[in-house]
Structure 1
Amino acid sequence: MTRGARAALVLGSGIGGFVDGIVIHQLLGWHHMLSGWYPDDPHRNMVGDGLFHLLCLVLVLTGVALLNRAGEVAGRTLWGGVLAGWGVFNLVEGVVDHLVLGVHHVRSGPHELAYDLGFLVFGAVLVVAGRLVARERVVR
């Protein structure tokens, strides 16, 4: 994997985290970062979400710095890496936070496992799509 592709993967992980935090935590209100551990403590959940967003910001800034350091990166490599990075975020966050630690679920309730598994499937699809987008086309 090239330096530019690694940079795009880090950038995509941060963007994926922001999409998760903004859409699922804030707009849909399905869960907060620590809602599985502290369901009745809005202050802890707000702080947890804030720390999560801070981590996402660090990933995005690190990805941009790495991308800058790598030099010019082809658009396909960049956008493929961003998609794959978002997928990696979903897979890691979904397995660790949803399934292993139980920090929260995508959507608590009678179908929470289905939502968690759907989140993982979507992450895997993003990784595959990113790899396909980043593949170099051979012109003959």
Structure 2
Amino acid sequence: MADASGRSFPVPAGILLGLGLGGFFDGIVLHQVLQWHHMLSTWYPITSVENLERNTLWDGIFHSATYVFVVLGLFVLWRRGRIRPLRWSGRGLAGSLLVGWGLFNLVEGLVDHAVLGVHHVNELRPRAEWWLWDLGFLAWGAAMLALGLGWVRAART
């Protein structure tokens, strides 16, 4: 990950930023704008004010966690840049962001959609189609991860 001078782009910073940005995209676009699902909407369907309040609270907790990832990513980036000059790389930044975002999709998709079943990507569609949307979310994450890894490798050369 580091060139001979140890000045390469700090990939862990980009991964943390990608995890946070992926979470923000999920929460802002899928939860709030499109309203396809909320954090616990399979367990607590939005059929009452109480369930909406519970889901809104957990959406906020989720956003707080993604915020922590972004703050940690900025801290790592700032710290690495202060210690020694960095070899800035747009491809390294974009690649590491995609790695983080792809990891977010894969972990969130496997844990929340498949294992725990707390929500599914698009709960506005008929229930029989939910697995297709969940699979698409995982495929999107895997594609971002693969592309990001390729860009990170290319940035190292």
CA shift at 1:137, angstroms? Answer: 5.8
| 2:15 aligns with one of 1, 9, 22 | 9
Give the equivalent residue in structure 1 for 2:144: 126
The alpha-carbon deviation at position 37 of structure 1 amounts to: 1.3
Identity of matched residues, %: 50
Bigger shift: 34-43 or 92-101? 34-43
Q: So what's the TM-score if we normalise by structure 2?
A: 0.83
Larger Rg: 2
2: CA distance between counterparts of 1:30 and 1:17?
15
In the TM superposition, 1:10-89 aligns within 5 A as: 10-39=16-45, 40=47, 41-71=51-81, 72=86, 73-89=88-104
Q: Report Cα offsets for 1:19-58 as digits up to 9, x if no partner.
A: 0111110111110001111113000000011111111111
Q: How many residues align?
A: 139
Amino acid in the other structure paired with 2:99: A
Give 5+ residue unaligned stretches, structure 2: 3-8
- 3-state SS of 2:38 partner: coil
- The question of whether the paired residues in 2 share the 8 Å contact of 1:76 and 1:134 is answered with yes
Q: RMSD of aligned C-alpha atoms?
A: 1.7
Please name the residue that 1:106 is paired with: 121
Structure 1 length-normalised TM? 0.92
Q: Report how far residue 15 of structure 1 moved.
A: 0.3
Q: Which runs of 5+ in 1 are unaligned?
A: none
Secondary structure in 2 aligned to 1:111? Answer: helix
